[in-house]
Amino acid sequence: MKVLVVGGAGYIGSHMVVVLLEAGHEVVIYDNFSTGYRDAILGGEVVEGDLADPATLDSVLSDGHFDAVMHFASNIEVGESVREPAKYYKNNLINAVNLLDAMRRNGVSAFVFSSSAAVYGEPQYAPLDEVHPRAPVNPYGRTKWMVEQILGDYDSAYGLKAVSLRYFNAAGADPEARIGERHEPESHLIPLGLQAASGRRESIQVFGRDYDTPDGTCIRDYIHVNDLCQAHLAALDRVVGGGESAAYNLGNGNGFSVNEVIETARQVTGREIKVVDSPRRPGDPAVLVADAGLARKELGWEPQRPGLESIIEDAWRWEQKIGRSA
């Protein structure tokens, strides 16, 4: 197949490009490089462009004869979305509609969308399945849920088929350390902890130790980025192969506490990681764990690196590489 990967220079997008190429697909990357990295692109054709530019989108899509589009170009910081909602509604929502309309104009009707567990809001039970009420509590989550609803309308009206993949906590890196997680600023626990282990950061914060969990710290579901990409590959086969639109949770179904993540990072690295205790952050649920049974059943997907140790080992190889060049 020929696939347009929008946001293919970012963390998950760049790993997706590698997985697509290794599976024998033809890939074109569309990225404005506002947060992505040129050296994270390990193959495929590159087009520098913005989703706010319909003319460039049309130029790429009209010439390409694409089978499908994958979307990885959203802004992802929850806190920033509260402070700067306009940025999130413009990029995550309006620009997504720009992309869908360009697909319609150019006869591309298969779409794989990076959604988020943030569509659920405060968990009413755990683990979360796909029928859990969608009640996002911040602009980031609202933009993801709005796009999912738009996709349903575009399917009904225009026959555009889409699979929305609701990520929990993507983590890890390419096992060969060719690419990995590189956010500026970084806000995710595993890379923050590994930066503290490598000496690039003095310490990390633990936000609250009084949650209703076994050790008092929050519990999250971590999924290896390559496992995430394999689910996208299965979703691609579904939408291009004539399957119906759908939404799936992507997670391991196992929760690990903040304390467990930090302790595992210490064991993997053999380094000390200094921790600073801080107050709870507003809106942090005690437990956020996926029920990904539907993706296993309907996509035939199974995580190949479900263990926290293997996720952190791959991330540590990447941190050692990037730390040397920082």
15: three-class secondary structure by DSSP: helix
Distance CA 27, CA 325 (A): 28
The total number of residues shown for the chain amounts to 326
Contact between 50 and 32 under an 8 Å Cβ cutoff? The reply is yes
Q: Are strands 256-257 and 219-220 parallel, antiparallel or unpaired?
A: antiparallel
Q: Which residues of 187-218 are buried (b: 16+ CB within 10 A; e: fewer)?
A: ebbbbbbbbbbbeebeebebbbbebebeeebb
Distance CA 81, CA 118 (A): 12
Contact between 6 and 22 under an 8 Å Cβ cutoff? The reply is no
Active-site hit among 88, 120, 140, 248: 140
The residue ranges of DSSP E strands in the chain, in sequence order, are: 2-6, 26-31, 45-48, 68-71, 110-116, 161-167, 169-171, 204-207, 219-220, 222-224, 246-250, 256-257, 275-278, 287-288
Active site residue 11: no
Catalytic residues: 140
